[in-house]
Amino acid sequence: MLFKDVIGQDEVKQHLAEMVQLNRLSHALLFLGKQGSGALPLAIAFAQFLVCEKVNGKSISNQQSASLFGAEEVVEQSKPTTFWQDACGECSACNKARQMIHPDIHFSYPVIPKKSGDKPKSTDYASEWREFIRQNPYGNAYDWLQFIGAENKQGNITAEECNDIIRQLSLKSFESEYKVLIMWMPEYLGKEGNKLLKLIEEPPANTLFILVGESEEQILQTILSRTQLVKIPLLENADVEKALIERNHTPEVQARQVAGIVQGNYHEALQLLQHSEEDWLSLLREWMNVTLKENQHGQVKWVDEVSKLGREKQKQFLRYYNHLLEQCVRLRILGTENLSLSQNELDFAHRLNKITSVAQQQAILTEIDKASYYIERNANGKILFHALTIKILHVIRDKVVVSVA
């Protein structure tokens, strides 16, 4: 994967290229970016940049000629003076890195046992990992675990995996100047991760650790303190829009609307498009009506229906509600200009503004964010949406019978 294949993040790409070519590269990096920001694709592209023969000048310096007595004579080559912004994509190293089979680029990620009693390692899922990245480079941990058939099993980066990392990185590099380990989602690394501390702190020469995480708080502090932080910001809306049009062949108007909703999360954008046939507005309108009218029978029926949607669709629905509430606030302040809303959504936003204040909308947004957090962690859907319905009712202080239809 090349830097040019990664959506946006031009400043980060420039910074990474400078770190290598100005000799400012730390031996342990933490790429920290929220879901959908492209932290993993950036790490993979960076690894290819490191092993690229043209970037590190190996293409000529590795040429050898035979001496008179049969010994190999190395032709010396000075470091290249060209400042590379990206890997060449043409050399042998780049071809192997693109296929994710370069012998000096290693991957570690959450896995599950294939059968009872197994001690799983990332290498057990190497072919699945390559296919997953090919299909969905902006996928999240849930996508990956479902891809390997985890269902409700909890993925882990195991003690056996840590031992395998130590073994792999203790060997000399095969082809490249660098050995690179990309560990995706170090949040799944428990106390067994302390096995890696000595290796991270005193690695073999030209060995680079790249941790790719989303939540700094969930990463072992002992490992965190030994890494150099590289913050990956959320994508610009324009970059998301452009990527949807060029890569996903999304119509321009729809791409602009989706980019406005997801706020820099390309994974979320793809999820929204995948479920674009869902009538979230009708579902939301029904919810608000049974809530504000205190129709308990209607609330129970609605909660029962939404609990059957599944976790991903529930998250998409709450994300949609979140977006509408944010647009309500913008509507109050800026009017109808630059709002990514259809006419039906605009009418609904006007009605929400009549029955709720900005403070109330912000309170509801807080409750929605909390609900999304707990859905991500396998909260019971029925209990969660019942509780959320009650909280929203109490946030809206005017408990009069009002319709938002």
pLDDT at 192 over 70: yes
Read off φ and ψ for residue 343, nearest 5 degrees: -65, -40
Residue 29 has what pLDDT?
93
Please give the class, per CATH, of domain 3-233.
alpha beta
pLDDT at 67 over 50: no
Res. 215 pLDDT band, cuts 50 70 90: confident
C-alpha angle 87-88-89 in degrees, rounded to nearest 5: 95
Res. 272 pLDDT band, cuts 50 70 90: confident
Report for 80-84, 304-308, 329-333: range of highest mean pLDDT: 304-308
Query: In terms of pLDDT, which residue wins out, 41 or 176?
Result: 41
* Of 89-93, 100-104, 294-298, 377-381, the least confident: 377-381
Question: What's the longest Cα–Cα distance across the chain?
Answer: 98
Give me the chain's average pLDDT, please: 84
| pLDDT (mean) for 41-70 | 69
Within a 10 A sphere around the Cβ of 54, how many other Cβ atoms? 18
pLDDT at 62 over 80: no
Res. 63 pLDDT band, cuts 50 70 90: very low
pLDDT at 55 over 60: yes
Res. 74 pLDDT band, cuts 50 70 90: very low
Residue count of the chain, please give it: 405
pLDDT in tens, 322-336: 878 888 888 887 776
Percent of the chain having pLDDT more than 70?
A: 89
Residue 375 has what pLDDT?
87
Q: Rounded to whole angstroms, how far apart are CA atoms 241 and 367?
A: 29
* Of 26-35, 91-100, 393-402, the least confident: 393-402
- C-alpha closest to that of 111 among 151, 148, 152, 163: 148
pLDDT at 254 over 90: no
Residue 30 has what pLDDT?
94
| pLDDT (mean) for 281-309 | 90
Report for 54-63, 252-261, 288-297, 338-347: range of highest mean pLDDT: 288-297
Question: Based on the number of CB atoms within 10 Å of its own CB, is 396 exposed (0-12), middle (13-18) or buried (19 or more)?
Answer: buried
- C-alpha closest to that of 101 among 159, 37, 174: 174
pLDDT at 71 over 60: no
Q: Rounded to whole angstroms, how far apart are CA atoms 223 and 198?
A: 10
Q: Rounded to whole angstroms, how far apart are CA atoms 331 and 346?
A: 9
Query: In terms of pLDDT, which residue wins out, 79 or 377?
Result: 377
Res. 178 pLDDT band, cuts 50 70 90: confident
Angle between helices 358-376 and 311-334 (to 10 degrees): 160
Res. 129 pLDDT band, cuts 50 70 90: very high
Res. 302 pLDDT band, cuts 50 70 90: very high
- The residue extents of the domains of the chain are 3-233, 278-395
3-state secondary structure of 298: helix
pLDDT at 357 over 90: no
Residue 70 has what pLDDT?
43
| pLDDT (mean) for 188-196 | 87
Instruction: Provide the sign of the torsion angle of the four alpha carbons 262, 263, 265, 266, taken in this order.
Output: positive
Residue 21 has what pLDDT?
81
Which CATH entry fits the domain spanning 278-395: 3.40.630, 3.30.379, 3.40.50, 1.20.272? Answer: 1.20.272
Query: CA-based Rg of the chain, rounded to a whole angstrom?
Result: 25
